[in-house]
Amino acid sequence: MEYTDSPEPEPDADEVLVYIKAAALNRVDKWVRDGWPGLKLDLPHILGSDGAGVVAGVGPGVATFQPGDRVVINTNFGCGTCEFCVAGQDNLCANWHLFGETINGTNAELVAVPERQLLRLPADFPFDQAAAAALVFQTAWHSLITRGQLRAGETVLILGAGGGVNTAAIQIAKFAGCLVYVVGSDEKKLALAQSLGADVLIDRSKEDWGKKVYQLSHKRGVDVVVDNVGAATMMTSLRAARKGGRILTVGNTAGPKFELDNRYLFGKHRSLIGSTMSTRADFAAVMGLVFAGKLRPVIDTTFPLTDVRAAHARMDNGEHFGKIVLHV
């Protein structure tokens, strides 16, 4: 990665030129950096999915924003015209993109963004918090609330305490009125999970978390498991869910493949539910709660954009709790 000069983007008719103030890192940045079979990028490539800033200019077709407006970017990028986008389900778009993944992203001073990808920020809402919230809160909200149909009074088990999606998921599950178990491997991260509302903490470095959930739930299992790890954990997650329970996944931090014993799926009436990103309505709903202070993005550290390498090194080491933010 290099910090260098790049041509200024020219906004198309329906695009807004945003002067980025803050950009948050996500795991996808590392995946893009490492590359994967089938990923073809025009180099040099600009990373970054999350960003917030000030409108610097608008294309002639833009009606709802003008220079000086404070905005946050919805990185979940639909074409706007296919059957799914017309229904507001941009995350199902046939021509779906994520900023910074297959197209240039937010780690820059100026980015051109389609008008429909922007949400206005309240007057004094901080740019770094908006950037830190956008991707992970919509991901967790859509998974738990829309796909997972979480209901008050349910028990939710969340695997992992430190990542951005999990810190969002803990708060959303509490907001929904659930009892929240968190499995972690680090006392400090578990304590921070507790500060976000987690009710029951399980340290997997000290005890068998599958057995512990079984005991704590009086051999019933939990209603919902949030497992974004995958390979190493999915079979235990399946068994930690009650009969008829749901297992939600929005990622595979331990690799893309795992094996399941199907008896524990069909025989126990369990559902394994995948999702990624969110609908437009879910993005607006969850960001409204963030703006109102009901949900709080957790910021681990901030770095100037010039120190992007140090920021990535911190993410690679996995020591962070919550989001790493770049100030531009």
Least spacing, CB of residue 94 vs Zn ion, in Å = 6
* Site track 274-303 with Zn ion (rule: CB under 5 A), x = hit: ------------------------------
Least spacing, CB of residue 277 vs Zn ion, in Å = 13
Measured over the CA atoms of residue 204, residue 166, residue 25 and residue 91, the dihedral's sign is positive
Least spacing, CB of residue 80 vs Zn ion, in Å = 6
Q: Which stretch binds Zn ion (CB under 5 A): 71-79, 147-155, 183-191, 214-222?
A: 71-79
Q: SS3 letters for the chain?
A: CCCCCCCCCCCCCCEEEEEEEEEECCHHHHHHHHCCCCCCCCCCCCCCCCCEEEEEEECCCCCCCCCCCEEEECCEECCCCCHHHHCCCHHHCCCCEEECCCECCCCCCEEEEEHHHEEECCCCCCHHHHHHHHHHHHHHHHHHHHHCCCCCCCEEEEECCCCHHHHHHHHHHHHCCCEEEEEECCHHHHHHHHHCCCCEEEECCCCCHHHHHHHHCCCCCEEEEECCCCCCCHHHHHHHEEEEEEEEECCCCCCCCCCCCCHHHHCCCCEEEECCCCCHHHHHHHHHHHHCCCCCCCEEEEEEHHHHHHHHHHHHHCCCCCEEEEEC
Nearest Cα to Cα of residue 301 among 293, 311, 291: 311
Q: Of 11, 51, 53, 78, which lies in the binding site for Zn ion, with binding defined by CB under 5 A?
A: 78
* Site track 31-70 with Zn ion (rule: CB under 5 A), x = hit: ----------------------------------------
Nearer to Zn ion, 93 or 108 (CB): 93
* Number of residues located near Zn ion, criterion CB under 5 A: 5
Task: Name residues contacting Zn ion, limited to 218-247 (CB under 5 A).
Answer: none
Q: Return d(Cα 108, Cα 40) in angstroms, integer.
A: 21
- The verdict on 82 binding Zn ion (CB under 5 A) reads yes
Q: Which stretch binds Zn ion (CB under 5 A): 79-87, 204-212, 225-233, 297-305?
A: 79-87
Q: Which stretch binds Zn ion (CB under 5 A): 82-90, 129-137, 182-190, 228-236?
A: 82-90
- The verdict on 216 binding Zn ion (CB under 5 A) reads no
Q: Of 85, 295, 308, 328, which lies in the binding site for Zn ion, with binding defined by CB under 5 A?
A: 85
Q: Of 46, 54, 59, 79, which lies in the binding site for Zn ion, with binding defined by CB under 5 A?
A: 79
Residue 76 identity:
N
Least spacing, CB of residue 218 vs Zn ion, in Å = 46
Q: Return d(Cα 230, Cα 250) in angstroms, integer.
A: 10
- The verdict on 100 binding Zn ion (CB under 5 A) reads no
Least spacing, CB of residue 279 vs Zn ion, in Å = 12
Task: Name residues contacting Zn ion, limited to 110-129 (CB under 5 A).
Answer: none
Q: Which stretch binds Zn ion (CB under 5 A): 24-32, 42-50, 73-81, 208-216?
A: 73-81
Rounded to 5°, angle at Cα 224 from 280 and 294: 50
Nearer to Zn ion, 82 or 272 (CB): 82
Nearer to Zn ion, 29 or 282 (CB): 282
Q: Which stretch binds Zn ion (CB under 5 A): 3-11, 24-32, 57-65, 87-95?
A: 87-95
Least spacing, CB of residue 83 vs Zn ion, in Å = 8
Positions in the binding site for Zn ion (CB under 5 A): 78-79, 82, 85, 93
